[in-house]
Structure 1
């Protein structure tokens, strides 16, 4: 009698890598489902120097490109990036530059064919706290409690990025932690790509 070895089970791929991205000129929050978060922004060479929006146009263009490069280098090539939509009500200083940065990041991801999910600021707050009008402190506290693996160090930009990343994992069917339905209502209101469905976990 000939014995044959049983077939090996199919290889199981790790869950999709998801990045949460909260674009900002001074403090872009970036969080990865692999367990890290970071905040990147334009740093003044000296305390009395103007911010990025106060630079002469040639230097401002260079600084914006350097910021864009630093962000995209940190993002890498994940399976999904969840970005916070611009707050259109914010029309103060830097709106022009923030809009450029947001669209450049979006175009970069599109060029690499990386699927993108989009949450509004209210949807992001809703997923984190259950209230769409929650303040920064409430989001920071909720993220620290529900997602302790990601050390945001009390930074609201990092906390926002973690929330966006967690919402993406939840949408893929592999939530980081069980979330109340009141919070998950944000997922049904968000904009998701049609090129990525189901988590291969």
Structure 2
């Protein structure tokens, strides 16, 4: 599927303190990917990641973040990274949504317990993109899920997979995109 010039700018983020996957719009028909690998140590990495993403967040119509796994809510360094990025979204008045890992996997592959290899293969089969970085693979799927949720699908998927996003609560600010 291709998109149009009115396609919302959706930023997909697979957050991690050591390797954050990023998927962003280059133009309506293509996606760029990157991995942020902080060079600083300790909590300074939070600032480095936030600063690296600030302009992308400011330019986005929606940021889609992979949520923490259910068993990890409220704990761990990834939660701290997520907090730093949520604050950056608020600073730039950019709406964001979180998608649970199992929901993202079901959307991408049809199975909520898909492996990283399954996610990568599904991306290759559906888009032709052969990304070697699992962080970027997840970020691309997060961006695709965000566009799907806003009514601008970029990947042709069976209805059962698309239905996985029905439980996601999309921000009101972008519901009309």
Q: 1:183 aligns with which of 150, 161, 164?
A: 161
Q: Hey, what does 2:14 align to over in structure 1?
A: 22
Q: CA deviation at 1:75?
A: 4.0
Q: Which has the higher helix share?
A: 2
Alpha-carbon distance between aligned partners in 1 of 2:63 and 2:101, rounded to the nearest angstrom:
16
The Cα of 1:74 is off from its aligned counterpart by 4.4
Render the CA deviation track for 1:65-90: whole Å, top value 9, x for unaligned.
22321233444421111111112435
Higher normalized strand content (fraction of residues): 2
Q: CA deviation at 1:102?
A: 0.6
Q: For the residues of structure 2 that align with 1:63 and 1:171, how far apart are their CA atoms?
A: 31
CA deviation digits over 1:32-68, x for unaligned, max 9?
Answer: 133101111224xxxxxxxx7xxxxxx5232332232
Gaps of 5+ in 2: none
Return the alpha-carbon distance in structure 2 between the equivalents of residues 76 and 152 of structure 1.
Answer: 28
Moved more, 123-132 or 60-69: 60-69
Q: How many residues align?
A: 169
> Of 135, 143, 151, which aligns to 1:165?
143
Q: Structure 1 residue 103 and structure 2 residue 83: aligned?
A: yes
- The structure 1 residue matched to 2:110, chosen from 126, 130, 151, is 130
Bigger drift between 179-188 and 66-75 goes to 66-75
Cα deviation digits, residues 78-117 of structure 1 (max 9, x gap): 11111111124359xxx53222111110111022111112
Detail structure 1 runs of 4+ shifted over 3 Å in the superposition: 73-76
> How far, CA to CA, are the matches of 2:91 and 2:49 in structure 1?
18
Q: TM-score, length-normalised on structure 2?
A: 0.85
**Which blocks of at least 5 consecutive residues in structure 1 are unaligned?**
1-11, 44-51, 53-58
Residue number in structure 2 paired with 1:42: 38
Deviation, 1:128, is 0.6
2:82 paired with 1:86: no
Looking at structure 2, the residues matched to 81 and 152 of structure 1 have their Cα atoms a distance apart, in angstroms, of 23
Bigger-Rg structure (1/2):
1
